[in-house]
Structure 1
Amino acid sequence: MITVADVEAEAARIAAYVVRTPTVASPGLSAFLGAPVTTKLELLQRTGSFKARGATAKLLALTEAERAAGVVAVSGGNHGIAVAEMAGALDIKATVVMPRSAPGRAVEIAEAAGARVILADTMGGAFALVDELQQLGLALVHPFDDPVVVAGQGTVGLEFAEDAGELTDVLVSIGGGGLISGVAAALHARRPGVRIWGVETEGAPAMSEALAAGGPVPVELSSIVSTLSAPRASPLTYEHVSALVTDVLTVTDAVAVQGTLDLADHAKVWAEPAAGCLLPAARQVLERVGDGARLGLVVCGGNATTADVTAWAERFGLR
């Protein structure tokens, strides 16, 4: 498992390339949820999500031979954007494989950054294709199954611990589990006693299924939230979550999209459903822990267009 020292080392390595995003109390969300809420606004990160941190950490750790050969990444959207843009900034050729369900805007951004983008029919197919490309000599920048990437994502937790006021419970979205693994490692070291809660959508339950099975297992994906749609957790992230996370909560796609609308209304931020899912999960946490909770929300990304959210809201009959 990674340590807070690993996270601190990556924080120093990537500092010149990423943004120290704002940590702000949210009066609107505090009133909405009925408990004090502090947000970590990773949607204001370079590339629009926390993924720039882990991608940059891994790219900077490559050998000269690996940099010359180029890199390959698999992504439901945000990781691909981050690898494409940060590789472009570092003059490294990148290939990004995404499922056809990935947001069209993510494909456009990755291509505009200079990456070669390949679309696969499914997320499972995307992971399989990346394995083939890796065998051809491209260096893999995995979205979550890499201790360097996990430590890079953990810099979110390091900053949150340094910048937030008192917190009792921190909620973090889960796709493959890289973000929550790094955040949990940092927060447990810097804020002992703070509970960490993971959040998934019901149609992308990689980590909750892993916890139920005692290890990573393949899952069927049906969520509209492609940025959380990992076909399975990894042993690395499972180990961190099983040891450091209080529980993993699941919510429906519909309430995740409603959460996106509520974040716009009450927090004045335009997030994606991967972050919107935190609000219905926060209500579950408050029901379980009772009075005195002080919540921290890692608002992980904002790479959803108004057209995307409008279409999802209409699909689910939301306001």
Structure 2
Amino acid sequence: MIGISEVEAVAERIAGHVVRTPTLPSPGLAALLGVPVTVKLELLQRTGSFKVRGATAKLLSLSAGERAAGVVAVSGGNHGIAVAVMAAALDVKATVVMPRSAPARAIEIAEAAGASVRLTDAMDEAFALMKRLQQEGLTLVHPFDDPVVVAGQGTVGLEFAADAGDVTDVLISIGGGGLISGVAAALRDRRPEVRIWGVETEGAQAMSEALAAGGPVPVALSSLVSTLSAPSVSQLTYDHVSALVHEVLVVPDREAVQGTLDLADHAKVWAEPAAGCLLPAARQVLQRVGEGARLGLVVCGGNATTADVTGWAERFGLR
């Protein structure tokens, strides 16, 4: 289990490379949901998502030999961008494996940063190729199955705990579980009274299925939210979520896209559905805990184009 000392150490290490993103009350979301809402705006982070925290922490921890070998990462979008950009900044050669369903913009950014991008037909094939490339000698920068990466993502929670006002419930999206594991570790130390809720989309339910099975299991992926689509969680992230998270909620893709539109209209931020899913989940939380709740939302990323969101909205008949 990641402890607060590991998160604090990583926070010092990456401080010159990442942004301390704003933690602010959102009057617009408070009016929409009917309770006070605080947002942690990781979509304003370098590379457009929280992923740069863990990627930077891992890259800075590598030995000279590991750096010289070059790194490999697998990603549905945001982790690949983060590894590509930060590897270039630190003069490390990077290979990024993504499924063809990854956002075109993510592929373009990774290539523009100088990474070698390898595309596969599906996410499980991407993870398999990543493992083969690691076996061939590349240094793995895993998106969630690495204590250093999880501690890096935990710096989101460290900042939130210091900067947020009084909150009762914090909602965090789950793909492979690195973000929620790190944030939960930090909040459990700094804000032990806060309930932590995970959020997944239907068709990307790796953590929900792991919790039901008593450990990580392979899952079938069908969600359009590629940035949450891990073929399984890891034992590391399962252990953290099973011990520290109150409940994991699941919302349909349609509601996640509507949440993206609502974040634009009411919070005035341009997020991706991996963050949009927090709004329908927030309504579920309020049904469970009542109107006395004070919500915190970790808006994890904003790497969706206007064309992406328009296309999804049209697919679901949303305005």
Normalising by the smaller structure, the TM-score range is: over 0.9
Corresponding letter in the other structure for 1:131:
K
RMSD between aligned residues: 0.3
User: 2:14: which partner in 1?
Assistant: 14
Deviation by residue 1:100-152 (Cα, 9 ceiling, x = unmatched): 00000000000000100000010000000011100111000000000000000
User: 1:296: which partner in 2?
Assistant: 296
User: 1:124: which partner in 2?
Assistant: 124
Deviation at 1:98, TM superposition (A): 0.0
> Could you say what secondary structure the match of 1:98 adopts?
strand
C-alpha distance in 2 between matches for 1:22 and 1:33: 21
User: 2:276: which partner in 1?
Assistant: 276
Q: Which runs of 5 or more residues in structure 2 are unaligned?
A: none
C-alpha distance in 2 between matches for 1:315 and 1:180: 30
C-alpha distance in 1 between matches for 2:292 and 2:256: 25
C-alpha distance in 1 between matches for 2:65 and 2:100: 31
Deviation at 1:292, TM superposition (A): 1.1
Corresponding letter in the other structure for 2:151:
A
> Could you say what secondary structure the match of 2:176 adopts?
coil
C-alpha distance in 2 between matches for 1:114 and 1:19: 22
C-alpha distance in 2 between matches for 1:240 and 1:70: 30
C-alpha distance in 2 between matches for 1:101 and 1:291: 39
C-alpha distance in 2 between matches for 1:234 and 1:83: 20
C-alpha distance in 2 between matches for 1:98 and 1:126: 6
Deviation at 1:198, TM superposition (A): 0.1
User: 1:236: which partner in 2?
Assistant: 236
C-alpha distance in 2 between matches for 1:49 and 1:114: 19
User: 2:136: which partner in 1?
Assistant: 136
Corresponding letter in the other structure for 2:156:
V
Q: How many residues align structurally?
A: 319
Corresponding letter in the other structure for 1:84:
A
User: 2:50: which partner in 1?
Assistant: 50
C-alpha distance in 1 between matches for 2:266 and 2:297: 14
C-alpha distance in 2 between matches for 1:266 and 1:291: 20
Corresponding letter in the other structure for 2:300:
C
User: 1:192: which partner in 2?
Assistant: 192
C-alpha distance in 2 between matches for 1:217 and 1:135: 23
TM-score if structure 1 supplies the norm length?
A: 1.00
Corresponding letter in the other structure for 2:271:
A
C-alpha distance in 2 between matches for 1:236 and 1:46: 26
C-alpha distance in 2 between matches for 1:47 and 1:308: 18
User: 1:248: which partner in 2?
Assistant: 248
User: 1:100: which partner in 2?
Assistant: 100
User: 1:262: which partner in 2?
Assistant: 262
After the TM superposition, which segments of 4 or more aligned residues of structure 1 sit over 6 Å from their partners? none
C-alpha distance in 2 between matches for 1:209 and 1:2: 23
C-alpha distance in 1 between matches for 2:234 and 2:245: 15
1:69 aligns to 2:69 (yes or no): yes
> Could you say what secondary structure the match of 1:208 adopts?
helix
TM-score if structure 2 supplies the norm length?
A: 1.00
C-alpha distance in 1 between matches for 2:294 and 2:144: 28
Deviation at 1:192, TM superposition (A): 1.1
User: 2:28: which partner in 1?
Assistant: 28
> Could you say what secondary structure the match of 2:28 adopts?
helix
Deviation at 1:6, TM superposition (A): 0.5
Corresponding letter in the other structure for 2:296:
G
Deviation at 1:291, TM superposition (A): 2.4
C-alpha distance in 2 between matches for 1:107 and 1:28: 33
Corresponding letter in the other structure for 1:32:
L
C-alpha distance in 2 between matches for 1:112 and 1:159: 31
Taking only the aligned residue pairs, the percentage that are identical comes to 82
Deviation by residue 1:194-247 (Cα, 9 ceiling, x = unmatched): 000000001100000000000000000000000000000100000000000000
Corresponding letter in the other structure for 1:207:
M
C-alpha distance in 2 between matches for 1:234 and 1:136: 22
Deviation by residue 1:252-308 (Cα, 9 ceiling, x = unmatched): 000000000000000000000000000000000000001210000000000000000
Corresponding letter in the other structure for 2:192:
P
C-alpha distance in 1 between matches for 2:208 and 2:127: 20
The 5 Å alignment of 1:200-219 reads: 200-219=200-219
User: 1:84: which partner in 2?
Assistant: 84
Corresponding letter in the other structure for 1:53:
R
C-alpha distance in 2 between matches for 1:166 and 1:93: 43
